[in-house]
Amino acid sequence: MSSKMVIITQKTLRKKLTHILSLLVFTSIFAQNEHSKAIVEIENLSKERAKAFNQSDAKTIASYFTLDAILMAPNKNVQIGQESIEAYYQGLFDNFNLELDSYYEEVEVSGNMAYGRGEAIVKATPKNGGETITTSSKYLNILRRQSDGSWLTTHDIWNEN
């Protein structure tokens, strides 16, 4: 029986360690960039949804939700699915002129799931006359990355401050 002796020089060991550390740093930077990119994409989705809201565009709002999404508005029945969510918003737009100002205070991403916690102010003026009502709310959105890399909302819940 023969045994082989492996001799690793300090120079070889330093090269290998340097290579491993370089890979770890690159992987970490790549992961941070992907995480930051996801946060920006989610914040942009929220801005686009708010823009659609301010244009009274229920169909576009619903398109930012998954097909089986859940909307939990205060004092309302749970709305499930894009069609139901579109109908909910269309009902609001049929009865009110609305103006929304909203923003995320926090966005967290973990793999293909994320959440956004935010604040919103809505000004609602009844179309049949009456004074404008202003409400302030806090909300939570849960989002899932889709197979094409985009993000859609799976759950949306809010209540008044």
Instruction: Please give the chain's pLDDT, 161 residues, in tens.
Output: 555 656 667 777 677 777 776 666 656 555 567 778 999 999 999 999 999 999 999 999 999 999 999 999 999 999 999 999 999 999 999 999 999 999 999 999 999 999 999 999 999 999 999 999 999 999 999 999 999 999 999 999 999 99
Quick check: 153 and 140 in contact, CB under 8 A? no
Compute and round to an integer the Cα radius of gyration of the chain. Answer: 24
Contacts of 156 (CB under 8 A, 6+ apart): 65, 69, 70, 71, 72, 139, 140, 141, 142
- Nearest CA among 104, 110, 101 for reference residue 140: 104
Q: Which residues, 6 or more positions from 128, have their beta carbon under 8 angstroms from its beta carbon?
A: 95
What is the three-state SS of 92-109?
Answer: HHHHEEEEEEEEEEEEEE
Per-residue confidence (pLDDT) for residue 12, from 0 to 100: 73
Distance CA 157, CA 116 (A): 11
What CA–CA distance (Å, rounded) separates 149 from 45? Answer: 13
pLDDT, residue 38, reads 93
For residue 92, report the phi and psi dihedrals to the nearest 5 degrees: -65, -45
| Reported pTM | 0.79
H-state helical runs in the chain: 10-54, 58-63, 82-95
